[in-house]
Amino acid sequence: MIDRPTQNPLTPLGPTALAPFAEDPEQGLAKIFGFSSFRPGQRQVVEHLVDGRDALVVMPTGSGKSLCYQLAGALTQGVTLVVSPLIALMKDQVDGLRSTGLPATAIHSAMPRAEQRRRLEELYVGDYKIVYVAPERFQSRAFCDALEDVEIGLLAIDEAHCISQWGHDFRPAYRRLAQVRQRFGDPQTVALTATATEQVRRDIGEQLGIGADDEIVGALERPNLYFDVYFAGSKEDKLRPIKALAERYPGESIIVYGATRKQIASVTRELNDANIDAAGYHGGMPADERRQTHQRWMNDEIPVLVATNAFGMGVDKPDVRAVIHYNIPGSIEAYYQEAGRAGRDGNPAHCLLLFNRSDLRVHHWFAENAFPLQMQVIRIWLHLCSLGPGAHDYTPTSLARAARGPGQKLPPRVAQVCLRHLARAGHLRYGGGQVEVLHEVGPLELNIDFSRFGDRRLNAKAQLGQMIDYTRAQRCYQATLLDHFDSTASFGARCGHCANCDANQ
């Protein structure tokens, strides 16, 4: 709990921070942010918010979505509370805001408790106009208690596709934001994302109670990007186009996305063997090393970064000249978001997808097994309950063998996925080679929504299917991608410079 400051009748809470910082959007844009003009779409969003309406904003990466809620927040009374998925994202934004003179801060789990507490107290007394938090922050009692008495002028939910399980970065804590909104008196809310299909958009809107009238969908086209698909006959065959792009853009920034850590290591090595300066990046690296690698790439010390999709959200390097996918991603959404990291400076850049049919195996495996069949979960559960109370040693293989019925399939990796679902639902805990049932319940009482498993499995397959269709497109690649988002391009049916447009001249 924080100590609530006793109110002094002569100094009302938060006299400066809570008042508007500018009179109108134009003045605020120039005075606070020092920009001379709005980028496409920004004015519409800011005016919509200043009118007091909610908004669901879909605008491309790099289009300046942050400014929309920052400026709208600065123009209204109260604190703007920004929900952001990554601490690194918060830090960049807060540093940027500090230089504008808007009092901003972030409160997150990576800072010492005393510091969290200090900032919370400062928020409480009105020292901040904009505060960034992760969605998990609302699970903290102290935070919610303090927030009860804070005037929230605007709730901004950044990277809002994390709300939707149909999106590609689903985060359970995002899903609870609808309740959070209610709890804090239904403040004006803006949700922002770069990538949302009709389905994800509707899901976000429904979750948060933002109607179709309040959707603002900006143009998603990226006229400076050159899209291409290369059908590789073999692994060696995939290195050729990577080397060609590295030679075309010598010493300039390139991202190569790979699927697995093993792949990251081997591609990095092969590029280095070919005298191309490349470094690997994946979620399993120690945080320090990851940060260092990221930094060296940002500083142009290493041009080529070979990364898993752990390298992503918030990567804001304007001069990336190529984004190469070593494997086919699982959805068009994920592809357009990742490829869209190229050419943010508006100069020509390449988006190349390398395709080999055997790459589909890992996706099919995932679609089949990330959401196991109800029967498989129940078999595992019944087997574990039969072991009796206490912790039991297990390996995925022993578990699968013991739980599998005669003539049935239950691969060890699936057994492990079943454990994860059971643990998430609070029925057991596992770790260190041991598993323990917490409360024995009947199979029909399991707190798992199996009906959703089927949907999500089908959804994953459908999304991959669309991605495969993309590789086979005969017409303009960019127009094909934009169709997926129901977005029409100003260039019409042909961007005029992708590999297909080139071929169909």
The two beta strands, 434-437 and 391-393, are antiparallel
The one of Mg ion, ligand ADP, none whose footprint includes residue 67, by CB under 5 to 8 A per kind, is ligand ADP
Neighbours of 399 (CB within 10 A): 22
Q: Which residue is nearest to ligand ADP (CB)?
A: 64
The one of Mg ion, ligand ADP, none whose footprint includes residue 128, by CB under 5 to 8 A per kind, is none
The CA-based diameter of the chain, rounded to the nearest angstrom, is 79
The one of Mg ion, ligand ADP, none whose footprint includes residue 478, by CB under 5 to 8 A per kind, is none
The one of ligand ADP, Mg ion, none whose footprint includes residue 316, by CB under 5 to 8 A per kind, is ligand ADP
| Interaction site with ligand ADP (CB under 6 A) | 35, 38-39, 42, 59, 61-67, 194, 316
**Choice between 39 and 497, CB closer to ligand ADP:** 39
Judged by CB under 5 A, the stretch of 5-13, 61-69, 195-203, 440-448 that binds Mg ion is 61-69
Least distance in angstroms from the C-beta of 192 to ligand ADP: 7
* Residue 456, both tokens: 């999500």
Task: Pick the closest to residue 120 from 140, 101, 96, 135 (CA basis).
Answer: 140
Least distance in angstroms from the C-beta of 66 to Mg ion: 5
- Residue 473, phi then psi, degrees to nearest 5: -55, 140
**Distances 24 to 142, 179, 279, 291 between C-alpha atoms, Å:** 35, 32, 46, 39
Least distance in angstroms from the C-beta of 304 to ligand ADP: 23
**∠ CA 482-483-486 to the nearest 5 degrees?**
95
**Distances 500 to 145, 195, 342 between C-alpha atoms, Å:** 57, 24, 19
Residue 257 amino acid letter: Y
Residue carrying structure tokens 């003045």: 27
**DSSP code, position 38:** P
Least distance in angstroms from the C-beta of 334 to Mg ion: 16
Least distance in angstroms from the C-beta of 167 to Mg ion: 15
Least distance in angstroms from the C-beta of 293 to Mg ion: 22
Judged by CB under 5 A, the stretch of 27-35, 63-71, 337-345, 388-396 that binds Mg ion is 63-71
Q: Which residue is nearest to Mg ion (CB)?
A: 65
Least distance in angstroms from the C-beta of 194 to ligand ADP: 6
**Choice between 39 and 175, CB closer to ligand ADP:** 39
**Choice between 151 and 316, CB closer to ligand ADP:** 316
Residue 486 amino acid letter: D
Residue 176: partners with Cβ closer than 8 Å, 6 or more residues away: 135, 138
Interface residue list for Mg ion (CB under 5 A): 65
